[in-house]
Amino acid sequence: MPDEPDIREALEKMEKKEPTWPVAITALNQHTLQTPWSKDVTPAAVWAEYPRPQMVRSEWTNLNGMWDYAITDSAARSFKKPDGKILVPFPLESTLSGVKKLLLPDQKLWYSRNIALSQKKTGKRYHLHFGAVDCDAMVMLNGKTIGSHRGGYQQFSFDITDALQKGDNRLVVAVLDPTDKGNSPKGKQTLNPQGIMYTPSSGIWQTVWMEELPAIAVNHLKLTPDIDKEALQVIVDAPAGTEVILTASSAGTIVSTAKGAAGTAILLPVKEARLWSPADPFLYDLRVQLLQDGKPVDEVQSYFGMRKIEIKKDGTGQERIFLNGQYTFNLGVLDQGFWPDGLYTAPTDKALKWDIATIKDMGFNTIRKHIKIEPARWYYWCDKLGMLVWQDMPYAANLSDEAKARFEKENEENIQQLYNYPSIVCWVLFNEGWFRYDQQRLTTWMKKMDPSRLVNGHSGENYDRNAPPDLSKKWINSDMTDIHDYPGPNIAPPLAGKARVLGEWGGVRVPTPGHQWNTAKNWGYAESEAAQFADKYKFLVKHLKLFETEGLSAAIYTQPFDVEIEENGLITYDRKVCKIPVEQIRDINNLILRAPADTAAGSKTSRAE
């Protein structure tokens, strides 16, 4: 989102400014806002759901709960004794962690806990999984370093079989997190929260778990739906020489089967497929069996949706976004994925689901996930409930060679990690010029990396002061032209082969006393009294409808929820007050999503319900 006067300039100033850490630490301890799900969080019941819904095995152990923690100098190689207890997987700075401390760039955060293993089974391998740790982690078991990982958004795992023993095992995780003083993508986190930048989320912030699996096992799945060929392309990453049997089913009834070699593209027929869409988010079950010498050695359960996203011309010759051959206006919200009690981590899985379900109940069919990668279960719920997703890449930390290398490496890992979710229909590469570079090369790379989805090469290009003057180069190789306008609305310029989208708009502040992160300092891009907000929103949407008729294919409203002092959500930060009744917002949004008489060569606009 744009800042005053220019977000890139503001970011550069923040990078140079000396941090006022004592002020930030004091402010952190003043925030007590909680969501309705805070009361459901206990050490005995914290994120108990299976964390990897697209590759399920039955034998696993959840390691969430109370761990010991300590904070030392960043150069320390160990810690002598714990400072206290922390509730994993909530970040150090969050209320729900039980700690609520800021981790500084010159400090190291240590975690430790015991893993009790009653029996170490012969012929089995044991893998330790981390949903995400912000930012750089080193993992030790029984005094032996088993691996390390850099990057705050990607899942990672280690084979700990050789270091694991029957009985007690001491697991230690050491974390460095410079936040906005390092070279890794950090999203909207800063050591000095202000404006559109928020409180950091250091350390473990997603589920930690241990999995028992056979010596020869499935490592990864790559699923690509092809509705034109009536098939799902499946690539199973498994040891060379193994075979795969695939079984697609629906409500227990087998739809089709296929067999092939691991590591090769196998086409699984899906004739007359029931297509996935927001109106009908139908998912097929997928069983993957791994065979060696004709004998089963491993099995995982998964799922998939059959859908196609593309840019096509409508009946008037205007390029539009089409889903499954039908023009579908992407009416969305800019969701930043922050929580007042858990920061980057939702209090519970029910809370995570509630966000998506409520956004859909309000009549939106799209979420632009802004500058953050979510846990797997967030995307699962988008798949299950029927929500289109535009996924942003967390932007480069700066323009140094190291920062660029990390940005590109993490982009590749992000796409690989999120590839199988049918709800994701668009990757967003750059936003408002924030440390933008090599746009043509990276947009082309992203389209080659995943030709099955749309690529938005630069959202809010009009806020980039270093943008190329030539219109044809502003969104080069992108599938869409994208501008931001606050409060708006507006429409992006036409370019051949590209849909026209409004990547951000709205941002109307409605103060809600008793539900504010900071009662003294809040802001929005425009302002309305609570009693007039519904009328103002309806007025804006009526104008948006005029642009949709002119050729606009998508609009992303800022934002579904207040975030810290940015008080321009449709719902308060604590998720307790909807500033316009849900049913009323849905009725207003249907001014856009209600099917017109003739829009796209016989196709009607897809509804969000």
222 within a domain of the structure (yes/no): no
User: What's the CATH code of the domain at 511?
Assistant: 3.20.20.80
Written as six digits, the tokens of 119 are 């029996």
Whether pLDDT at 350 is above 70 = yes
Mean per-residue pLDDT, 306-318: 96
Residues 6+ apart with CB under 8 A from 140: 146, 171, 172, 173, 174
Q: Do 190 and 333 share a domain, yes or no?
A: no
DSSP-derived 3-state class of residue 379? helix
Q: Do 468 and 582 share a domain, yes or no?
A: yes
What sign for the dihedral angle of Cα 474, 480, 486, 490?
positive
Whether pLDDT at 162 is above 50 = yes
Q: Do 193 and 316 share a domain, yes or no?
A: no
606 within a domain of the structure (yes/no): no
334 within a domain of the structure (yes/no): yes
Domain boundary among 214, 243, 277: 214
Residues 6+ apart with CB under 8 A from 252: none
Q: Do 322 and 210 share a domain, yes or no?
A: no
40 within a domain of the structure (yes/no): yes
Whether pLDDT at 8 is above 60 = no
475 by Cβ neighbours in 10 Å (0-12 / 13-18 / 19+) ranks as buried
Whether pLDDT at 22 is above 80 = no
283 within a domain of the structure (yes/no): no
What type of residue sits at position 485? Answer: D
Whether pLDDT at 446 is above 50 = yes
Confidence of residue 45 (pLDDT cuts 50, 70, 90): confident
Percentage of the chain lying above the pLDDT 70 cut: 93
Q: Do 81 and 210 share a domain, yes or no?
A: yes
463 within a domain of the structure (yes/no): yes
Q: Do 30 and 174 share a domain, yes or no?
A: yes
Q: Please provide residue 160's backbone torsions phi and psi, each rounded to the nearest 5 degrees.
A: -105, 15
Identify the residue whose tokens are 């096509």: 312
Q: Do 320 and 455 share a domain, yes or no?
A: yes
Task: Provide the pLDDT for residue 608.
Answer: 31
Mean per-residue pLDDT, 276-298: 98
6 by Cβ neighbours in 10 Å (0-12 / 13-18 / 19+) ranks as middle
What sign for the dihedral angle of Cα 86, 202, 219, 381?
positive
Write 4-8 long-range contacts (CB < 8 A, 24+).
6/463, 6/465, 7/196, 7/432, 7/433, 7/434, 7/463, 8/432, 8/433, 8/434, 8/435, 8/463, 8/464, 8/465, 8/466
Q: Lowest mean pLDDT: which of 26-30, 292-296, 342-346?
A: 26-30
Task: Provide the pLDDT for residue 31.
Answer: 76
Expressed in angstroms, the distance from the first to the final Cα of the chain is 28
User: What's the CATH code of the domain at 175?
Assistant: 2.60.120.260
Residues 6+ apart with CB under 8 A from 478: 443, 455, 456, 457, 458, 498
90 by Cβ neighbours in 10 Å (0-12 / 13-18 / 19+) ranks as buried
Mean pLDDT of the chain, nearest integer: 93
Q: Do 390 and 539 share a domain, yes or no?
A: yes
Residue spans of beta strands (DSSP E) within 486-583: 499-506, 508-509, 526-527, 552-558
Confidence of residue 27 (pLDDT cuts 50, 70, 90): low
Confidence of residue 596 (pLDDT cuts 50, 70, 90): very low
553 within a domain of the structure (yes/no): yes
Residue spans of beta strands (DSSP E) within 251-325: 253-261, 265-269, 284-292, 295-304, 309-313, 319-323
Residue 464: domain span: 309-593
Whether pLDDT at 9 is above 80 = no
Mean per-residue pLDDT, 561-590: 97
Domain boundary among 172, 196, 214: 214
Confidence of residue 32 (pLDDT cuts 50, 70, 90): confident
Task: Provide the pLDDT for residue 20.
Answer: 44
d(CA 210, CA 62): 7
Total structural domains within the chain: 2
Task: Provide the pLDDT for residue 520.
Answer: 83
Domain boundary among 177, 193, 214: 214
Contact by Cβ (8 Å): 411, 432: no
Bridge partners of residue 269, in order along the sequence: 231
Task: Provide the pLDDT for residue 1.
Answer: 44
Q: Do 329 and 438 share a domain, yes or no?
A: yes
Q: Do 320 and 448 share a domain, yes or no?
A: yes
Confidence of residue 601 (pLDDT cuts 50, 70, 90): very low
Question: Could you please report the per-residue DSSP string of 426-461?
Answer: EEEEEETTTT---HHHHHHHHHHH-TTSEEEEEETG
Q: What is the pLDDT of residues 247-257, one digit of tens each?
A: 999 999 999 99
Mean per-residue pLDDT, 134-143: 97
d(CA 67, CA 467): 48
Confidence of residue 280 (pLDDT cuts 50, 70, 90): very high
Residues 6+ apart with CB under 8 A from 239: 216, 262, 292
Confidence of residue 29 (pLDDT cuts 50, 70, 90): low
235 within a domain of the structure (yes/no): no
pTM of the model: 0.94
Whether pLDDT at 15 is above 70 = no
